[in-house]
């Protein structure tokens, strides 16, 4: 089972993921983009095939 679970239109994730999302959402738009790129690089370093299962924005 993955970290994120989809139930209809709602995505359920662990509390720590929700906290990270909320903190990133408080940043200015340019800083949000930087944070997104940083997280993306960390995930790709951890699992190179992750993008096969991830939608692109």
Q: What is the Cα 3 distance to its own chain's centre? A: 10
DSSP label at residue 41: H
Torsion of Cα atoms, 18 then 21 then 36 then 49, to 10°: 20
Strands (E), 2-57: 5-7, 10-12
Express each pLDDT in 20-42 by its tens digit: 888 999 999 999 999 989 988 88
Q: Is residue 21 one of the residues assigned to a domain?
A: no
Is a pLDDT exceeding 70 seen at residue 9? Answer: no
Instruction: Note whether 44 and 50 are within 8 A (CB).
Output: yes
Is a pLDDT exceeding 80 seen at residue 48? Answer: no
pTM attached to this predicted model: 0.56
The total of structural domains in the chain comes to 1
Q: Is residue 40 one of the residues assigned to a domain?
A: yes
Range of the domain at 32: 26-57
Q: Is residue 13 one of the residues assigned to a domain?
A: no
């Amino acid at each position: 089972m993955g970290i994120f679970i989809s139930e209809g239109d709602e995505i359920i994730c662990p509390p720590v993921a929700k906290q990270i999302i909320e903190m990133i959402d408080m940043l200015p738009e340019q800083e949000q983009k930087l944070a997104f790129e940083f997280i993306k690089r960390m995930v790709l370093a951890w699992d190179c095939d992750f993008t096969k299962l991830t939608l692109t924005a």
